[in-house]
Amino acid sequence: MSASIPSIQADGVKPLNSPGRVIAASLVGTTIEFYDFYVYATAAALVFPKLFFPTGNDTTALIASFSVFGAAMVARPIGAIFFGHLGDKRGRKTTLVLSLLTMGIATFLIGFLPTYHSAGLIAPILLLLLRLCQGFALGGEWSGAALVATENAPEGKRALYGTFPQLGAPLGFIIANGLFLIINFALPHPDGPTMQSDAFLAWGWRIPFVFSAVMVIIGLWVRMKLVESQAFRQAEKKGVIRKLPLNDTFRYHWRELILGTFIMLATYVLFYLMTTFALTFGTKAQDASPAGLGIGYTSFVLMQIIGVVFFGLFTLLAGPAADMMGRRKLLIGVTITIIAFGLSFPIWTTLRADTMLTGGLTQAFLVIGFTLMGTTFGPMGALLPELFPTNVRYTGSAIAYNVSSILGAALAPIIAVALWTKAGGSTWMVGVYLSVAAVLTLVSLIIVRETKDTNYDAASADDEKAVEFENDELIGTGV
In CATH, what number is assigned to the domain containing residue 254? 1.20.1250.20
Task: State residue 294's pLDDT score.
Answer: 80
Tens of pLDDT along 456-467?
Answer: 776 556 653 434
Is pLDDT larger for residue 157 or for residue 348? 157
Tens of pLDDT along 169-210?
Answer: 899 888 988 888 888 778 776 655 555 567 777 888 899 899
Q: What is the mean pLDDT of residues 45-74?
A: 80
Q: Phi first, then psi: give them for residue 469, nearest 5 degrees.
A: -105, 135
Tens of pLDDT along 94-136?
Answer: 888 888 889 889 989 999 999 988 888 899 999 999 989 988 9
Q: Phi first, then psi: give them for residue 289, nearest 5 degrees.
A: -130, 110
The answer, yes or no, to whether residue 38 has pLDDT greater than 90, is no
Is residue 479 situated within a structural domain?
A: no
Tens of pLDDT along 228-239?
Answer: 767 777 777 777
Task: State residue 351's pLDDT score.
Answer: 56
pLDDT band at 163; cut points 50, 70, 90: very high
Residue type, 21: R
Task: Kindly report the pTM of this predicted structure.
Answer: 0.80
State how far the alpha carbon of 270 is from the alpha carbons of 69, 87, 152, 262, in Å: 16, 29, 30, 13
Task: State residue 259's pLDDT score.
Answer: 96
Q: What is the mean pLDDT of residues 245-269?
A: 92
pLDDT band at 357; cut points 50, 70, 90: low
For the chain, the domain total comes to 1
Task: State residue 368's pLDDT score.
Answer: 95
The domain of 25 spans 19-474
Is pLDDT larger for residue 473 or for residue 355? 355
User: What does pLDDT average to over the chain?
Assistant: 82
What are the b/e assignments for 418-428, b being 16+ CB within 10 Å?
bbbeebebbbb
Is residue 167 situated within a structural domain?
A: yes
User: Does residue 141 contact residue 103 with C-beta atoms inside 8 Å?
Assistant: yes
Task: State residue 68's pLDDT score.
Answer: 83
Tens of pLDDT along 262-305?
Answer: 999 999 999 988 988 888 888 887 777 787 788 887 888 889 99
Is residue 377 situated within a structural domain?
A: yes
Is residue 11 situated within a structural domain?
A: no
Task: State residue 201's pLDDT score.
Answer: 78
Q: What is the mean pLDDT of residues 412-436?
A: 87
Query: CB burial class (10 A; 0-12, 13-18, 19+) of residue 207?
Result: middle
